A and B are shown apart, each in its own frame.
Chain A
Amino acid sequence: MKALGNLSSIVIPLLIFFIVGYGYVSKVKVYETFLKGARDGLKIVVDIVPTLIGLLVAVGMLRASGFFDMLGGFLGPVTEAVGLPAQLMPLLVVKLFSSSAATGLVLDIFRTSGPDSYAGLLTSILMSCTETVFYTMSVYFLAAKVTKTRYTLTGALLATAAGTVASVILARMMV
Protein backbone atom coordinates (compact mmCIF):
# COMPACT_ATOMS: atom_id res chain seq x y z
CA MET A 1 0.00 0.00 0.00
CA LYS A 2 2.80 2.39 -0.81
CA ALA A 3 0.26 4.11 -3.10
CA LEU A 4 -1.27 5.84 -0.09
CA GLY A 5 2.08 7.43 0.65
CA ASN A 6 2.80 8.32 -3.00
CA LEU A 7 -0.54 10.06 -3.40
CA SER A 8 0.18 11.95 -0.20
CA SER A 9 3.43 13.34 -1.54
CA ILE A 10 1.73 15.25 -4.37
CA VAL A 11 -0.97 16.88 -2.23
CA ILE A 12 1.21 19.67 -0.85
CA PRO A 13 2.83 20.77 -4.15
CA LEU A 14 -0.58 20.75 -5.87
CA LEU A 15 -2.09 22.82 -3.08
CA ILE A 16 0.73 25.36 -3.16
CA PHE A 17 0.51 25.58 -6.96
CA PHE A 18 -3.24 26.11 -6.82
CA ILE A 19 -3.22 28.73 -4.03
CA VAL A 20 -0.35 30.80 -5.43
CA GLY A 21 -1.69 30.48 -8.99
CA TYR A 22 -5.24 31.43 -7.99
CA GLY A 23 -3.94 34.32 -5.89
CA TYR A 24 -1.75 35.64 -8.72
CA VAL A 25 -4.53 35.40 -11.30
CA SER A 26 -6.87 37.19 -8.86
CA LYS A 27 -4.31 40.03 -8.74
CA VAL A 28 -3.39 39.47 -5.09
CA LYS A 29 0.09 40.72 -4.17
CA VAL A 30 1.02 37.14 -3.46
CA TYR A 31 4.49 37.62 -2.02
CA GLU A 32 3.62 40.47 0.35
CA THR A 33 0.47 38.65 1.45
CA PHE A 34 2.50 35.51 2.05
CA LEU A 35 4.93 37.44 4.24
CA LYS A 36 2.10 38.85 6.34
CA GLY A 37 0.60 35.41 6.91
CA ALA A 38 3.98 33.86 7.67
CA ARG A 39 4.62 36.59 10.25
CA ASP A 40 1.31 35.73 11.96
CA GLY A 41 2.26 32.05 11.83
CA LEU A 42 5.54 32.76 13.60
CA LYS A 43 3.69 34.60 16.35
CA ILE A 44 1.50 31.53 16.87
CA VAL A 45 4.56 29.31 17.25
CA VAL A 46 6.20 31.72 19.69
CA ASP A 47 3.02 31.59 21.76
CA ILE A 48 3.12 27.80 22.02
CA VAL A 49 6.83 27.53 22.98
CA PRO A 50 6.13 27.67 26.75
CA THR A 51 3.37 25.05 26.39
CA LEU A 52 5.69 22.70 24.55
CA ILE A 53 8.45 23.14 27.14
CA GLY A 54 6.04 22.43 29.99
CA LEU A 55 4.55 19.34 28.41
CA LEU A 56 7.67 17.83 26.90
CA VAL A 57 9.36 18.13 30.29
CA ALA A 58 6.42 16.42 32.01
CA VAL A 59 6.31 13.56 29.49
CA GLY A 60 10.11 13.21 29.44
CA MET A 61 10.15 12.93 33.23
CA LEU A 62 7.35 10.35 33.20
CA ARG A 63 9.20 8.26 30.64
CA ALA A 64 12.50 8.46 32.54
CA SER A 65 10.82 7.46 35.81
CA GLY A 66 9.90 4.13 34.20
CA PHE A 67 6.19 4.81 34.58
CA PHE A 68 5.37 4.27 30.90
CA ASP A 69 7.27 0.97 30.84
CA MET A 70 5.27 -0.21 33.85
CA LEU A 71 2.02 0.86 32.18
CA GLY A 72 3.06 -0.75 28.90
CA GLY A 73 3.96 -4.05 30.54
CA PHE A 74 0.62 -4.00 32.28
CA LEU A 75 -1.60 -3.12 29.31
CA GLY A 76 0.53 -4.40 26.44
CA PRO A 77 -0.74 -7.99 26.17
CA VAL A 78 -4.37 -6.83 26.06
CA THR A 79 -4.07 -3.93 23.65
CA GLU A 80 -1.61 -5.42 21.21
CA ALA A 81 -4.14 -8.13 20.40
CA VAL A 82 -6.28 -5.46 18.69
CA GLY A 83 -3.39 -3.69 16.98
CA LEU A 84 -2.79 -0.92 19.52
CA PRO A 85 0.78 -0.79 20.81
CA ALA A 86 0.77 -0.34 24.60
CA GLN A 87 2.70 2.90 24.35
CA LEU A 88 -0.34 4.48 22.67
CA MET A 89 -2.65 3.87 25.62
CA PRO A 90 -1.71 6.99 27.63
CA LEU A 91 -2.13 9.01 24.42
CA LEU A 92 -5.63 7.65 23.74
CA VAL A 93 -6.78 8.74 27.20
CA VAL A 94 -5.01 12.10 27.43
CA LYS A 95 -6.19 13.02 23.92
CA LEU A 96 -9.77 13.14 25.17
CA PHE A 97 -8.88 15.97 27.56
CA SER A 98 -6.11 18.08 26.09
CA SER A 99 -4.54 18.26 22.66
CA SER A 100 -1.39 19.99 23.89
CA ALA A 101 -0.79 17.35 26.57
CA ALA A 102 -1.37 14.73 23.88
CA THR A 103 1.24 16.43 21.70
CA GLY A 104 3.83 15.78 24.40
CA LEU A 105 3.01 12.07 24.29
CA VAL A 106 3.01 12.00 20.47
CA LEU A 107 6.53 13.42 20.37
CA ASP A 108 7.62 10.87 22.94
CA ILE A 109 6.35 8.06 20.68
CA PHE A 110 8.15 9.62 17.68
CA ARG A 111 11.36 9.86 19.70
CA THR A 112 11.30 6.31 21.04
CA SER A 113 9.83 4.39 18.07
CA GLY A 114 10.39 6.75 15.14
CA PRO A 115 7.65 8.46 13.10
CA ASP A 116 7.78 5.82 10.35
CA SER A 117 7.32 2.81 12.64
CA TYR A 118 3.88 1.21 13.01
CA ALA A 119 3.34 3.03 16.33
CA GLY A 120 4.53 6.29 14.76
CA LEU A 121 2.28 6.02 11.70
CA LEU A 122 -0.70 5.01 13.80
CA THR A 123 -0.09 7.97 16.11
CA SER A 124 0.20 10.36 13.15
CA ILE A 125 -3.11 9.23 11.62
CA LEU A 126 -4.89 9.02 14.96
CA MET A 127 -3.94 12.55 15.92
CA SER A 128 -5.10 13.81 12.52
CA CYS A 129 -8.60 12.35 12.64
CA THR A 130 -9.98 13.22 16.08
CA GLU A 131 -10.20 16.19 18.45
CA THR A 132 -10.19 16.65 22.20
CA VAL A 133 -13.67 15.57 23.27
CA PHE A 134 -13.97 17.00 26.78
CA TYR A 135 -12.06 20.23 26.18
CA THR A 136 -14.10 21.17 23.09
CA MET A 137 -17.36 20.32 24.80
CA SER A 138 -16.62 22.31 27.94
CA VAL A 139 -15.44 25.44 26.09
CA TYR A 140 -18.21 25.44 23.48
CA PHE A 141 -21.09 24.64 25.81
CA LEU A 142 -19.86 27.28 28.24
CA ALA A 143 -20.32 29.86 25.46
CA ALA A 144 -24.00 28.90 25.19
CA LYS A 145 -24.33 28.44 29.00
CA VAL A 146 -25.56 24.89 28.43
CA THR A 147 -25.23 22.36 31.26
CA LYS A 148 -27.24 19.40 29.91
CA THR A 149 -25.36 18.18 26.88
CA ARG A 150 -27.75 15.34 25.87
CA TYR A 151 -26.28 13.00 23.24
CA THR A 152 -23.21 15.09 22.42
CA LEU A 153 -20.76 13.00 24.46
CA THR A 154 -22.01 9.69 23.05
CA GLY A 155 -21.77 10.98 19.49
CA ALA A 156 -18.33 12.48 20.04
CA LEU A 157 -16.97 9.28 21.59
CA LEU A 158 -18.52 7.24 18.79
CA ALA A 159 -16.83 9.40 16.14
CA THR A 160 -13.54 9.14 18.04
CA ALA A 161 -13.87 5.36 18.24
CA ALA A 162 -14.59 5.14 14.49
CA GLY A 163 -11.53 7.30 13.78
CA THR A 164 -9.38 5.10 16.03
CA VAL A 165 -10.48 1.88 14.32
CA ALA A 166 -9.92 3.44 10.89
CA SER A 167 -6.44 4.60 11.97
CA VAL A 168 -5.44 1.09 13.07
CA ILE A 169 -6.59 -0.39 9.73
CA LEU A 170 -4.89 2.33 7.66
CA ALA A 171 -1.63 2.21 9.63
CA ARG A 172 -1.55 -1.59 9.14
CA MET A 173 -1.90 -1.05 5.40
CA MET A 174 1.04 1.35 5.36
CA VAL A 175 3.69 -0.86 6.97
Chain B
Amino acid sequence: MLNAIWAVMILTAVLYGAFTGHLGDVTNACLDSAGEAISLCMTMAGVVALWMGLMEIASKAGLIGKLTRGISPFLSFMFPRIPKNHPAREYIATNIIANVLGLGWACTPAGLKAMEALARLEAERGNPEYLSDAGSRRAGSEMCTFLILNISSLQLIPVNMIAYRSQYGSSDPTSIIVPAIVATLISTLTAIVYCKGKDRGGVRS
Protein backbone atom coordinates (compact mmCIF):
# COMPACT_ATOMS: atom_id res chain seq x y z
CA MET B 1 0.00 0.00 0.00
CA LEU B 2 2.67 2.45 1.05
CA ASN B 3 4.65 1.72 -2.13
CA ALA B 4 1.80 3.02 -4.27
CA ILE B 5 1.09 6.06 -2.07
CA TRP B 6 4.74 7.07 -1.90
CA ALA B 7 5.32 6.66 -5.63
CA VAL B 8 2.16 8.63 -6.48
CA MET B 9 3.20 11.45 -4.11
CA ILE B 10 6.72 11.76 -5.51
CA LEU B 11 5.70 11.43 -9.16
CA THR B 12 2.80 13.88 -8.79
CA ALA B 13 5.09 16.39 -7.12
CA VAL B 14 7.66 16.31 -9.92
CA LEU B 15 5.11 16.31 -12.75
CA TYR B 16 2.90 19.01 -11.23
CA GLY B 17 5.97 21.05 -10.29
CA ALA B 18 7.26 20.81 -13.86
CA PHE B 19 3.91 21.95 -15.29
CA THR B 20 3.58 24.90 -12.94
CA GLY B 21 7.26 25.89 -13.08
CA HIS B 22 7.96 25.11 -9.41
CA LEU B 23 10.76 22.59 -9.96
CA GLY B 24 13.27 24.82 -8.16
CA ASP B 25 11.03 24.86 -5.07
CA VAL B 26 10.63 21.11 -5.32
CA THR B 27 14.41 20.68 -5.26
CA ASN B 28 14.75 22.84 -2.16
CA ALA B 29 11.83 21.10 -0.49
CA CYS B 30 13.28 17.62 -0.83
CA LEU B 31 16.61 18.69 0.67
CA ASP B 32 15.01 20.69 3.50
CA SER B 33 12.49 17.98 4.34
CA ALA B 34 15.15 15.33 4.71
CA GLY B 35 16.95 17.52 7.26
CA GLU B 36 13.69 18.33 9.00
CA ALA B 37 12.96 14.62 9.44
CA ILE B 38 16.16 14.28 11.44
CA SER B 39 15.47 17.22 13.77
CA LEU B 40 11.96 15.88 14.32
CA CYS B 41 13.39 12.50 15.31
CA MET B 42 15.52 14.20 17.96
CA THR B 43 12.37 15.50 19.68
CA MET B 44 10.55 12.22 19.14
CA ALA B 45 13.43 10.26 20.64
CA GLY B 46 13.14 12.11 23.94
CA VAL B 47 9.38 11.81 24.31
CA VAL B 48 9.14 8.20 23.16
CA ALA B 49 12.08 7.09 25.35
CA LEU B 50 10.47 8.79 28.37
CA TRP B 51 7.11 7.14 27.71
CA MET B 52 8.59 3.69 27.11
CA GLY B 53 10.67 4.00 30.26
CA LEU B 54 7.56 4.78 32.32
CA MET B 55 5.65 1.94 30.67
CA GLU B 56 8.46 -0.46 31.52
CA ILE B 57 8.05 0.49 35.19
CA ALA B 58 4.26 0.06 34.90
CA SER B 59 4.77 -3.34 33.34
CA LYS B 60 7.35 -4.53 35.93
CA ALA B 61 5.16 -3.32 38.78
CA GLY B 62 2.32 -5.47 37.44
CA LEU B 63 0.13 -2.49 36.53
CA ILE B 64 -0.35 -3.56 32.92
CA GLY B 65 -1.22 -7.13 33.94
CA LYS B 66 -3.76 -5.75 36.41
CA LEU B 67 -5.33 -3.58 33.74
CA THR B 68 -5.52 -6.55 31.39
CA ARG B 69 -7.40 -8.56 34.02
CA GLY B 70 -9.46 -5.49 34.90
CA ILE B 71 -11.11 -5.27 31.50
CA SER B 72 -12.49 -8.79 31.77
CA PRO B 73 -16.10 -7.56 32.31
CA PHE B 74 -15.77 -5.38 29.23
CA LEU B 75 -14.60 -8.39 27.19
CA SER B 76 -17.54 -10.48 28.41
CA PHE B 77 -19.84 -7.67 27.32
CA MET B 78 -18.28 -7.19 23.86
CA PHE B 79 -17.55 -10.86 23.14
CA PRO B 80 -20.20 -12.83 25.06
CA ARG B 81 -19.73 -15.95 22.95
CA ILE B 82 -15.98 -16.41 23.47
CA PRO B 83 -15.55 -19.05 26.23
CA LYS B 84 -14.01 -17.58 29.43
CA ASN B 85 -10.83 -19.68 29.24
CA HIS B 86 -10.25 -19.35 25.49
CA PRO B 87 -6.80 -17.94 24.55
CA ALA B 88 -8.48 -15.42 22.22
CA ARG B 89 -9.71 -13.50 25.28
CA GLU B 90 -6.23 -13.04 26.66
CA TYR B 91 -4.80 -11.82 23.33
CA ILE B 92 -7.70 -9.44 22.83
CA ALA B 93 -7.19 -8.07 26.36
CA THR B 94 -3.46 -7.54 25.79
CA ASN B 95 -4.10 -5.85 22.46
CA ILE B 96 -6.73 -3.50 23.92
CA ILE B 97 -4.62 -2.47 26.91
CA ALA B 98 -1.54 -1.92 24.72
CA ASN B 99 -3.74 0.23 22.47
CA VAL B 100 -5.11 2.25 25.38
CA LEU B 101 -1.59 2.93 26.68
CA GLY B 102 -0.24 3.78 23.23
CA LEU B 103 2.24 0.90 23.13
CA GLY B 104 2.12 0.56 19.36
CA TRP B 105 4.81 -2.14 19.25
CA ALA B 106 2.82 -4.38 21.62
CA CYS B 107 -0.57 -3.98 19.90
CA THR B 108 0.02 -5.60 16.55
CA PRO B 109 1.60 -8.92 17.65
CA ALA B 110 -1.15 -9.47 20.25
CA GLY B 111 -3.76 -8.39 17.71
CA LEU B 112 -2.54 -10.87 15.11
CA LYS B 113 -2.46 -13.64 17.73
CA ALA B 114 -6.02 -12.70 18.68
CA MET B 115 -7.15 -13.04 15.05
CA GLU B 116 -5.49 -16.45 14.76
CA ALA B 117 -7.11 -17.56 18.01
CA LEU B 118 -10.50 -16.31 16.78
CA ALA B 119 -10.01 -18.33 13.59
CA ARG B 120 -9.30 -21.40 15.75
CA LEU B 121 -12.44 -20.63 17.75
CA GLU B 122 -14.47 -20.68 14.51
CA ALA B 123 -12.89 -24.04 13.65
CA GLU B 124 -13.74 -25.35 17.13
CA ARG B 125 -17.34 -24.26 16.55
CA GLY B 126 -17.32 -26.47 13.47
CA ASN B 127 -17.50 -23.63 10.93
CA PRO B 128 -16.65 -25.51 7.68
CA GLU B 129 -14.83 -22.53 6.11
CA TYR B 130 -12.30 -22.60 8.95
CA LEU B 131 -11.64 -26.32 8.95
CA SER B 132 -9.50 -26.19 5.81
CA ASP B 133 -7.17 -23.55 4.39
CA ALA B 134 -8.82 -23.68 0.97
CA GLY B 135 -11.70 -21.47 -0.09
CA SER B 136 -12.76 -18.07 1.19
CA ARG B 137 -13.62 -17.42 4.79
CA ARG B 138 -16.32 -15.12 6.10
CA ALA B 139 -15.24 -13.10 9.12
CA GLY B 140 -16.74 -14.28 12.42
CA SER B 141 -18.79 -11.74 14.40
CA GLU B 142 -16.06 -11.56 17.06
CA MET B 143 -13.50 -10.70 14.39
CA CYS B 144 -15.65 -7.87 13.07
CA THR B 145 -16.20 -6.49 16.58
CA PHE B 146 -12.51 -6.78 17.48
CA LEU B 147 -11.37 -4.98 14.33
CA ILE B 148 -13.96 -2.21 14.49
CA LEU B 149 -12.99 -1.58 18.14
CA ASN B 150 -9.34 -1.51 17.16
CA ILE B 151 -9.89 0.92 14.29
CA SER B 152 -12.05 3.19 16.45
CA SER B 153 -8.79 3.93 18.32
CA LEU B 154 -8.50 3.29 22.03
CA GLN B 155 -5.35 5.29 22.75
CA LEU B 156 -5.76 7.59 25.76
CA ILE B 157 -2.57 9.69 25.65
CA PRO B 158 -1.57 10.60 22.08
CA VAL B 159 2.17 10.52 22.81
CA ASN B 160 3.31 10.97 19.22
CA MET B 161 1.03 13.93 18.56
CA ILE B 162 2.33 15.63 21.71
CA ALA B 163 5.90 15.13 20.51
CA TYR B 164 5.12 16.52 17.04
CA ARG B 165 3.30 19.50 18.54
CA SER B 166 6.21 20.35 20.78
CA GLN B 167 8.66 20.04 17.86
CA TYR B 168 6.64 22.55 15.82
CA GLY B 169 6.59 25.14 18.60
CA SER B 170 3.20 24.61 20.23
CA SER B 171 2.81 26.85 23.29
CA ASP B 172 1.00 23.99 25.05
CA PRO B 173 1.67 20.61 23.40
CA THR B 174 -0.38 18.61 25.91
CA SER B 175 -3.51 20.79 25.62
CA ILE B 176 -5.04 18.21 23.28
CA ILE B 177 -5.05 15.33 25.77
CA VAL B 178 -8.55 15.82 27.17
CA PRO B 179 -10.18 16.68 23.81
CA ALA B 180 -8.41 13.66 22.32
CA ILE B 181 -9.77 11.41 25.09
CA VAL B 182 -13.29 12.75 24.53
CA ALA B 183 -13.05 12.27 20.75
CA THR B 184 -11.64 8.75 21.22
CA LEU B 185 -14.50 7.88 23.59
CA ILE B 186 -17.02 9.10 21.03
CA SER B 187 -15.52 7.09 18.17
CA THR B 188 -15.19 4.00 20.38
CA LEU B 189 -18.74 4.33 21.73
CA THR B 190 -20.03 4.56 18.17
CA ALA B 191 -18.09 1.38 17.39
CA ILE B 192 -19.50 -0.42 20.45
CA VAL B 193 -23.11 0.53 19.70
CA TYR B 194 -22.73 -0.45 16.05
CA CYS B 195 -21.10 -3.82 16.85
CA LYS B 196 -23.63 -4.72 19.54
CA GLY B 197 -26.47 -3.89 17.13
CA LYS B 198 -24.95 -5.94 14.30
CA ASP B 199 -24.01 -8.81 16.59
CA ARG B 200 -27.52 -9.10 18.00
CA GLY B 201 -28.96 -9.04 14.47
CA GLY B 202 -26.52 -11.78 13.47
CA VAL B 203 -27.62 -14.07 16.30
CA ARG B 204 -31.28 -13.76 15.45
CA SER B 205 -30.97 -14.50 11.75
Contacts and interface: CB of A to CB of B under 8 A. Distances in A.
Interface majority SS on A: helix, strand, loop or mixed?
Answer: helix
B147 A37 contact: no
| Dominant SS among interface residues on chain B | helix
Given A11-B157, A128-B183, A146-B119, A64 B26 contact: yes
A48 interface: yes
B143 A36 contact: no
Contacts of A106: 161, 164
Nearest to B112: A143
A36 B53 CA distance: 7
A8 B115 CA distance: 35
Nearest to B23: A65
A162 B186 contact: yes
Contacts of A149: 139, 144
A114 to B, nearest CB: 7
Interface in A14-28: 15-16, 19-20, 22-23, 26, 28
A125 B57 contact: no
A91 to B, nearest CB: 13
Given A8-B176, A116-B170, A166-B183, A159 B36 contact: no
Given A41-B48, A129-B186, A115 B143 contact: no
B139 A159 contact: no
Given A57-B33, A64-B26, A121-B176, A129 B5 contact: no
A98 B5 CA distance: 9
A52 B13 CA distance: 17
Given A131-B152, A145-B119, A148-B136, A28 B49 contact: no
B184 A129 contact: yes
Interface of A: 4-5, 7-9, 11-12, 15-16, 19-20, 22-23, 26, 28, 30, 33-42, 44-46, 48-49, 52-67, 70, 94, 97-98, 100-101, 103, 106-107, 110-111, 114-116, 120-121, 124-141, 143-152, 154-156, 158-160, 162-163, 166-167, 170-171, 173-174
Given A60-B33, A144-B143, 4 more contacts: A12-B174, A28-B60, A54-B6, A148-B137
9 contacts: A19-B63, A38-B49, A70-B16, A139-B112, A140-B115, A150-B138, A152-B144, A159-B148, A159-B152
